[in-house]
Chain A
Amino acid sequence: MEWVTLLLDAMWAAIPAVGFGMIFNVPRSALPLCAVGGAFTYGFREVLMHHHLTIELSTFIAATAIGIIGVFWSRAYVMPRPVYTVPSIIPIIPGTYAYEMMISLVSMNTDGVTDALLSSFIENGLHAVSILFAIAFGLVLPSMYYTKRQKPII
């Protein structure tokens, strides 16, 4: 039963990956792989979080995994790596955390600073920033490994 929920969620996560691929105008042949990448990244992160890893660590591992997979795809289909990796990480972007952070910031301005608002601001802000950095580091690591070789990937 848990696997069914996981698969369904991963399928829902494939939709934003394809939609954002269209905003970035990726070639049509790359769209199916973007969908697979988005579903994989989201599903992998859910599995890791299910095993009681923190959300930041799971995000980092999932982003690194899609970064490594992107290297193989880019070599096989002669495509720059960001074509696959950037749409794939879109489903794990911490939109809600950033939004909650902004809300509490504005309420502090209008209603005065309270302990609850302040702690909500700091908690959500830390989550949003650390998840963003986890995504970025995860995507950068694989390409850092390949830049020490002289021969380019594609």
Chain B
Amino acid sequence: MQKGFPTISKEEQTRITTVVVRVAAMLLEYGAESRLIEQLSSRLGVALGCTSIEISLIPSAIVLTTLIGDSSVTTTRRAHEQPINMSIVHQIVTICIAAEKNPRDIMMVETKLANIHSNPYPAWLIVPMIGLSCAAFSHLQGADWAGFCITFLAASVGMMVRRALSSRNYSLLIVFAFTAFVCTMIASLSFYQGLSATGSIVLSSSVLLLVPGFPYINSMLDAFKGYISMGWGRWTQATLLTLMSSLGIMLAMGLLDIKGW
């Protein structure tokens, strides 16, 4: 028993560690930036009664130590690849703030963590919306209305393909390459008998649904705030995704032998 600290047994400390590392691993998997992961897990740990939390992050795993007085518990978790989900990150932020308002209430945190839901948008909403997004891109770049419609079609079908492949648990790299291939195949309809005068704009905006915006921005944010290895890891991931999409585009264009190639 340490002086100055309320009695927390080793079992209780292990329980706290399990909860905190679960929160940290979820944040890492669903795409929070490193500083947020470190801040949230140490705030949660302190709220649950720890002296401090030490954490070490690499892109695929997490090592976390809770300190209570002199006794420390360390644990490691592997982070699995998940689609980015800001809704879950937001729910975890809310849980941490609730835990700070009622400190030492581990039961409440555990129940709330078990009730986290991923809140996905329904397919009938997201597929036309992504089609419309890419069509809006092509309109902003100056495509004509025939090009607008072709972009809408290509991006919607691409989003359906992406969802279908993701739900079958293919690697994200394969999903991106194949989606880019399908999008380019459909978008090259605009060259068929001069259907649209602005074919290259249609081709470039119909694959924009594959822009890895979150990995790029997260990698910059991490690198600038001192998490160099996380920044490099996420940068590599984003670059690989971009390369795989270009591979899909090149494959489709080579197959169709489009003018300008």
Contacts and interface: CB of A to CB of B under 8 A. Distances in A.
Given A22-B126, A106-B261, A93 B211 contact: yes
B98 to A, nearest CB: 11
Nearest to A99: B204
Interface of B: prevailing SS = helix
Contacts of A12: 136, 139-140
Contact of B133 (A15, A89, A154): A15
Given A90-B211, A95-B208, A18 B119 contact: no
Nearest to B90: A27
Contacts of B200: 99-100, 103
Contacts of B213: 20, 24, 86-87, 89-90, 93
B220 A25 contact: no
B42 to A, nearest CB: 10
Contacts of B29: none
Interface in A97-154: 99-100, 102-103, 106-107, 110, 132, 135-137, 139-140, 143-144, 147, 152, 154
Contacts of A27: 86-87, 90, 119
B217 A23 contact: no
A13 interface: yes
B39 A140 contact: no
B86 A18 contact: no
B97 A80 contact: no
A132 B216 contact: yes
A80 B260 CA distance: 44
A95 B139 contact: no
B217 A82 contact: yes
A107 B260 CA distance: 7
B118 A25 contact: yes
Nearest to B132: A15
Contacts of A18: 129, 133
Given A80-B86, A82-B33, A82-B218, A95 B133 contact: no
Contact of A144 (B85, B93, B225): B225
A26 B87 contact: yes
A13 B132 CA distance: 11
A25 B121 contact: yes
13 contacts: A9-B140, A16-B133, A19-B133, A22-B125, A26-B87, A78-B94, A83-B90, A96-B201, A107-B261, A139-B221, A140-B220, A147-B35, A154-B93
Interface of A: 9, 12-13, 15-16, 18-20, 22-28, 30, 42, 78-80, 82-83, 85-87, 89-91, 93, 95-96, 99-100, 102-103, 106-107, 110, 132, 135-137, 139-140, 143-144, 147, 152, 154
Given A87-B213, A96-B204, 20 more contacts: A15-B132, A16-B133, A16-B208, A19-B129, A20-B213, A24-B31, A24-B84, A24-B214, A25-B85, A27-B90, A80-B36, A83-B86, A83-B89, A93-B213, A96-B141, A106-B261, A110-B261, A135-B217, A136-B216, A143-B221
